[in-house]
């Protein structure tokens, strides 16, 4: 039950960051504060930053094996994103999407490993 609670809280943080950052940058794009080229880059960067934050929190709350916690969390996020993609956007699985999901999984794993190391620094 503790594991489900940790993942649930991190998922809430990740989703809130995705929604919040998307809203902020959409307003910037609407008022032409940022151009389309930068907005396309930011659309890719927002989930990476959000998953990094959620996975960092998972790692910070974990006891050991931060890489495994990051992979589990990353796979949960990727399954959710893949289902959203198929249901709402009817996207097919392409090489570009596989590379993007791989980057997200790598980000999740790395952030969780960093988070578990920060926990050890705080406890000393």
Centre a 10 Å sphere on the Cβ of residue 107 and count the other Cβ atoms it contains.
20
Beta strands in 44-101 (DSSP E): none
pLDDT digits (tens, 9 = 90+) for 8-45: 999 999 999 999 999 999 999 889 888 888 888 999 99
pLDDT band for 102, please (50, 70, 90 cuts): very high
Q: How many domains does the chain have?
A: 1
**95-100 long-range contacts, CB within 8 A, separation 24+:** 100/44
On the question of pLDDT at 84 being above 70, the answer is yes
Range of the domain at 62: 2-123
């Amino acid at each position: 039950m503790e594991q489900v609670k940790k993942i649930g809280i991190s998922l809430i943080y990740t989703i809130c960051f995705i929604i919040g950052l998307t809203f902020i940058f959409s307003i910037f794009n609407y008022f032409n504060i940022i151009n389309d080229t930068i907005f396309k880059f930011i659309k890719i960067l927002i989930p990476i930053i959000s998953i990094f934050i959620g996975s960092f929190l998972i790692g910070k709350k974990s006891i050991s094996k931060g890489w495994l916690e990051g992979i589990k969390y990353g796979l949960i996020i990727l399954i959710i994103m893949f289902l959203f993609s198929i249901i709402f956007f009817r996207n097919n699985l392409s090489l570009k999407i596989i590379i993007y999901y791989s980057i997200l999984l790598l980000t999740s794993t790395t952030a969780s490993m960093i988070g578990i190391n920060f926990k050890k620094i705080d406890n000393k």
